[in-house]
Amino acid sequence: MQVTTEYSHFHNKTRLDQNKGTTAAICVQNLSRWTEAIEEICTWPEYKPQPLRSLPLQAEQLGIGKLFFKDESKRFGASLGSFKALGAPYAVFKILAEEVFSKAGVRPTSEDLRTGKFRDITQKVTVCVATDGNQGRGLAYGAKTFGCRCVDYIHNHVSPGRAEMMKDLGAIVIRVAGEYEASVERAKADARMNGWHFVSSTSWSNFDNNIPRNVMNAYMVIVEEALQAIPVVENITHVFVCGGVGSIAAAVFLGFFTRLSQIKQSNQGRVLIPPRFIVVEPKEADCLFQSAKTGEICLSEGSLRTLMAGLACRGPSPAAWKILTWLASDFVAVPDDVAVAGMRQLAGVVSCPDHLTPVE
């Protein structure tokens, strides 16, 4: 496996620091209802556990025991194609359930919303988001499934093809001049003006807003499926997750850390060393790496022009950052050719099924 070594690395020497844990405690507490999210999503008729793939040849090349990757490419169908298909639809379900309760005084089930039982209420609700594509498709899917309107805001660098995919799922798509942050500000402004719901995984406080909390709780489905597929959870040594604003990494790391802590307690306090949790992001959009290096939230000074478009974020989610600075052991920023090499590796694996094995 031949890839460039031109990457930046920061090791978090104060990982699991007690003071950082105290700072993160409110965020962790607000993400404690992930079991509820998992149980709800597992009742959806289109739900199907997504595979954890084993890469034995790549593991041998790297000189390690086992290497796995979580394949989210078919989550709720190929048209969605990422883990974002979990968070946004679940957030839409929770938003509409609250709208129905506030107006009709009943708690609807997801099936009630799917079948249009409260269409007179839900069709008046609009959800919106700023997106590079994946979150927008997930939100449009959730809106279409549960019966409300969706508006996706995209920026200059989002391809026409991605915009069409969102429209195909029923979204109204508005292109905004500038970078991702410009589309965020426009979406938030329009949401305030029109009384819409801005659905984002970014929280500007301690997840006091239910929406990012619900988005991140839904991401815990990924952790649960992975842990069920790994025979000996205690043998996990490293967990790599993509960066962006930090929400998916914070959710996955917290999920692994919590479950391993539960295993430790069930084994009469036997010491279990947490895996190394590593955040990986593009060099041109390295807000988490830069924040780790400086010791406080800061913005990336990169161009944000990267093939890893879904990770092209200028700054971290403050609430997710509190969890990451406590749990993450390493932050790595890589150039695009690392992503290209990875895609080529996986393309070769997929074309030769013997090289790729689902974990039963």
- Average pLDDT taken over every residue of the chain: 88
How big, in percent rounded to 5, are the helix, strand and coil portions of the chain? 50, 15, 35
Of 159-173, 175-189, 209-223, the range with the highest mean pLDDT is 159-173
Query: Which pair of structure tokens corresponds to residue 21?
Result: 């844990």
The more confident residue out of 292 and 16 is 292
Q: Which of 222, 246, 235, 260 is nearest to 328 (CA)?
A: 246
The answer, yes or no, to whether residue 1 has pLDDT greater than 60, is no
- Contacts for 353 with CB less than 8 Å, ≥ 6 apart: none
State the fold for domain 8-71+209-358: Rossmann fold (3.40.50)
Of 23-27, 28-32, 272-276, the range with the highest mean pLDDT is 272-276
- Number of H helices and E strands in the chain, helices first, is 14, 11
Task: Say how far residue 201 (Cα) sits from the centre of its chain.
Answer: 8
Q: Given this model, what pLDDT does residue 193 score? A: 97
The more confident residue out of 269 and 195 is 195
Please name the helix (run of DSSP H) or strand (run of DSSP E) that holds residue 54, with its range, or none: strand 52-54
- Contacts for 15 with CB less than 8 Å, ≥ 6 apart: 326, 327, 328, 329
Q: Given this model, what pLDDT does residue 2 score? A: 53
The answer, yes or no, to whether residue 78 has pLDDT greater than 80, is no
- Could you tell me the pLDDT band of residue 348, with boundaries at 50, 70 and 90? low
Instruction: Parse the chain into domains and list their residue ranges.
Output: 8-71+209-358, 87-198
333, 286 in Cβ contact below 8 A? Answer: yes
Q: Given this model, what pLDDT does residue 30 score? A: 66
Q: Given this model, what pLDDT does residue 270 score? A: 64
**Tokens 């954890």 found at:** 52
- Could you tell me the pLDDT band of residue 106, with boundaries at 50, 70 and 90? very high
Mean pLDDT over residues 155-180, rounded? 93
State the fold for domain 87-198: Rossmann fold (3.40.50)
Q: Which of 94, 135, 142, 103 is nearest to 121 (CA)?
A: 103
pLDDT tens string 192-239: 999 999 998 776 554 446 888 899 999 999 999 999 998 777 789 999
Q: Write the DSSP symbol of residue 289.
A: H
Mean pLDDT over residues 107-124, rounded? 98
Q: Given this model, what pLDDT does residue 271 score? A: 63
